[in-house]
Amino acid sequence: DAGVIQSPRHEVTEMGQEVTLRCKPISGHNSLFWYRQTMMRGLELLIYFNNNVPIDDSGMPEDRFSAKMPNASFSTLKIQPSEPRDSAVYFCASSSWDRTNYGYTFGSGTRLTVV
Amino acid sequence: AQRVTQPEKLLSVFKGAPVELKCNYSYSGSPELFWYVQYSRQRLQLLLRHISRESIKGFTADLNKGETSFHLKKPFAQEEDSAMYYCALSSSGYSTLTFGKGTMLLVSP
C-alpha cells in the first residue's frame, strides 16, 4: 500500500487565487481527516469525513475553505480566495473504523505558500 | 472539552542523556492516549499508544490518571531521535484525535 497520498507536495500561489489540495486515503479506510499545521497553532483539525460524509467541519476557519469527498478514494480541500495567512502545511490522514487501535495514517502533506 | 497540553516547545539534550517529553490532558472520562513523531519535513507517524503498553525505539509512556499525564520517556537519547513529538487524545475508539502543540526534541552529539 502506498499510504495516504497527497498532491501537490508544494504549492506557491498569489493572494486571491484558488488553491485545491488533493488526498487519496488508504484503501479500506472509512474516515478521512484534514489538518493544518502551523508554528503558532500546531496541528488543527479542519474537517473530517466518515464514509464520505462530512461529520464535523467546525475547524474550517472561514467560508473561503471548503472540502469534498466525492468517493471513498478521493478528497479535496479548496481555498478560494487564498490569503497569506493560509500559508501552512496541510495534512490529510485516514483511519479505519476503530481509530483507537489503529490510529491515523498521515500523508506527506502539502506545503502551501500564499504570497 | 478535551485538551492536550505539551508545556515545552523545545527540549534540547545531549546524546546519551535521559529524555522526558511532558504531556498533560484534560478529559473527564477514560481517554485513549497516543504519541506521534514527525521527523524533519516528513509525515507524522504513530510512535506508540497507551493501550498497547509497548516500547518503540526505546521510548515508553505511562498513563497516569491521577496526574492526567502521559509523559514520553527514553533513558538514553540518540541523535536520530531529533524530531517533533505530538501527544494526542481520543475520547473513544470512534472519535477524532485532539493533538497537543508539539515539542521539538533536539539531541546534540
- Which chain A residue's Cα is nearest to B43? A108
Tens of pLDDT, residues A34-68: 999 998 888 999 999 999 999 989 899 889 999 99
Q: Which of B93, B96, B100 sits opposite A98 (nearest CB)?
A: B93
Note whether A103 contacts B100, CB cutoff 8 Å: no
Low-confidence ranges of chain B (pLDDT < 50): none
Q: Which of B44, B96, B102 sits opposite A106 (nearest CB)?
A: B44
* Dist. CA B48–CA B45, nearest whole Å: 9
Q: Is B76 helix (H, G, I), strand (E, B) or coil?
A: coil
Note whether A108 contacts B93, CB cutoff 8 Å: no
- What are the C-alpha distances in Å from A78 to residues A37, A62, A75, A94, B107? 16, 11, 10, 18, 38
Question: Which amino acid appears at position A3 of this protein?
Answer: G
Q: Are A46 and A88 in contact (CB under 8 A)?
A: no
Residue A101: band (very low, low, confident or very high) from pLDDT cuts 50, 70, 90 = low
Minimum distance, in Å, between the CA of residue A57 and any CA atom of chain B = 12
Alpha carbons within 13 angstroms on the beta-carbon side of residue A105 total 21
Q: Which three cell numbers stand for residue A65?
A: 475553505
Q: What's residue A97's pLDDT?
A: 65
Q: What percent of chain A has pLDDT over 90?
A: 74
Residues of A in contact with B42 (CB under 8 A): 108
- Which chain B residue's Cα is nearest to A100? B93
Q: Are B33 and B54 in contact (CB under 8 A)?
A: no
Tell me the average pLDDT across A93-111.
81
Note whether B96 contacts A56, CB cutoff 8 Å: yes
Residue, of A40 and A20, whose pLDDT is higher = A20
Based on the number of CB atoms within 10 Å of its own CB, is B5 exposed (0-12), middle (13-18) or buried (19 or more)? middle
Tens of pLDDT, residues A63-78: 999 999 999 999 999 9
Q: Which helix (H) or strand (E) holds A100?
A: helix A99-102
* Dist. CA B52–CA B55, nearest whole Å: 9
Beta partners for residue B10, in sequence order:
B104
Residues of A in contact with B99 (CB under 8 A): 35, 42-43, 45
Residues of A in contact with B49 (CB under 8 A): 100, 103
Note whether A45 contacts B94, CB cutoff 8 Å: no
Q: Are B16 and B74 in contact (CB under 8 A)?
A: no
Q: What's residue B18's pLDDT?
A: 97
Most B CBs within 10 A among A49, A89, A97, A99, hence the mutation to make, goes to: A99
Going by C-beta distance under 8 Å and a sequence separation of 6 or more, which residues neighbour residue A49? A31, A32, A33, A55, A67, A69, A75
Residues of B in contact with A34 (CB under 8 A): none
* Dist. CA B14–CA A85, nearest whole Å: 36
* Dist. CA B30–CA A56, nearest whole Å: 22
